[in-house]
Amino acid sequence: MIRIGPAGIPLSCKGRTNKDGIIYTYRTLDLNAIEIQFVRGLYVMPDEEAQIIRDYSEENDIEVHTHAPYYINLAGDDEEITMSFEKILKSAQMAGNIGAKTVILHPGFYGEKSEKKTIKMIIKNSKKITGMIKKEKIKVDIGLETMGKQKVFGTLDEVVEVCKNVKGVIPVIDIAHIHARGNGCLKERKDFEDIFEKLKPLKLKHYIIHITGVLYENGNELYHLPIKKGDMPIAPLIEIILDNNYDVTLVSESPLLEHDAIYIRLQVEKAIMKRTGKEEAYYKDLSEVV
Ligand SMILES: [Zn+2]
Q: Report CA(274)–ligand 1 centroid distance (Å).
A: 33
144 alpha carbon – ligand 1 mean position (Å): 9
Q: In what order do the strands lie in the sheet with 63-67?
A: 2-6, 248-252, 207-211, 169-174, 141-145, 102-105, 63-67, 33-37
Q: Tell me how far the alpha carbon of residue 143 lies from the centroid of ligand 1, in angstroms.
A: 10
Map residue 222 onto helix, strand or coil.
strand
- CA gap 81, 54 in Å, rounded: 30
> Would you call 47 helix, strand, or coil by DSSP?
helix
- Residue 171's beta-bridge partner residues? 144
The answer to whether 56 and 85 are in contact (CB under 8 A) is no
Q: Which amino acid is at 221?
A: E
Q: How far is the CA of 65 from the centre of ligand 1 (A)?
A: 12
CA distance 54 to 63: 10
Q: Where are the domains positioned within the chain?
A: 2-276
**Alpha-carbon span 39 to 136, nearest angstrom:** 22
Taking the C-alpha atoms of residue 15 and residue 24, their distance in angstroms, rounded to an integer, is: 9
pLDDT of 41 reads: 58
- Which amino acid is present at 228? K
Distance 72 CA to ligand 1 centre (A): 11
Q: How many Å lie between the centroid of ligand 1 and the Cα of residue 172?
A: 9
Contact (CB, 8 A) for 168 and 133? yes
Q: How far apart are CA 290 and CA 287, in angstroms?
A: 6
d(CA 287, CA 273): 12
User: Could you list the pLDDT tens digit for every one of the 290 residues in the chain?
Assistant: 999 999 999 999 999 999 999 999 999 999 999 999 997 755 788 899 999 999 999 999 999 999 999 999 999 999 999 999 999 999 999 999 999 999 999 999 999 999 999 999 999 999 999 999 999 999 999 999 999 999 999 999 999 999 999 999 999 999 999 999 999 999 999 999 999 999 999 999 999 999 999 999 999 999 999 999 999 999 999 999 999 999 999 999 999 999 999 999 999 999 999 999 999 999 999 999 97
Confidence (pLDDT) at 107: 98
From 136, 236, 150, select the one nearest 193 (Cα to Cα). Answer: 236
Longest pairwise C-alpha distance within the chain: 59
Please check whether residue 216 is in contact with residue 222, taking contact to mean a CB–CB distance below 8 angstroms: yes
Say how many Å lie between the CA of residue 37 and the centre of ligand 1: 9
Ligand 1 centre to CA of 15 (Å) is 23
Own/partner long-range contacts of 17-20 (Cβ < 8 Å, ≥24 apart): 17/49, 18/45, 18/49, 18/53, 18/98, 19/49, 19/52, 19/53, 19/56
pLDDT for the residue numbered 42: 59
Q: What distance in angstroms lies between residue 27's CA and the mean position of ligand 1's atoms?
A: 26
**Which CATH number describes the domain made up of 2-276?**
3.20.20.150
CA dist 257 and 266 (Å) reads 14
Using an 8 Å Cβ cutoff, are 143 and 103 in contact?
yes
- Work out the burial of residue 182: count CB atoms within 10 Å of its CB; fewer than 13 is exposed, 13-18 middle, 19 or more buried: middle
Task: Indicate the DSSP class of residue 60.
Answer: T
Q: Give the global pTM.
A: 0.97
Backbone angles phi, psi at 35, to 5 degrees: -115, 110
Element (DSSP H or E) covering residue 248: strand 248-252
Q: In angstroms, how far is CA 9 from the centroid of its own chain? A: 15
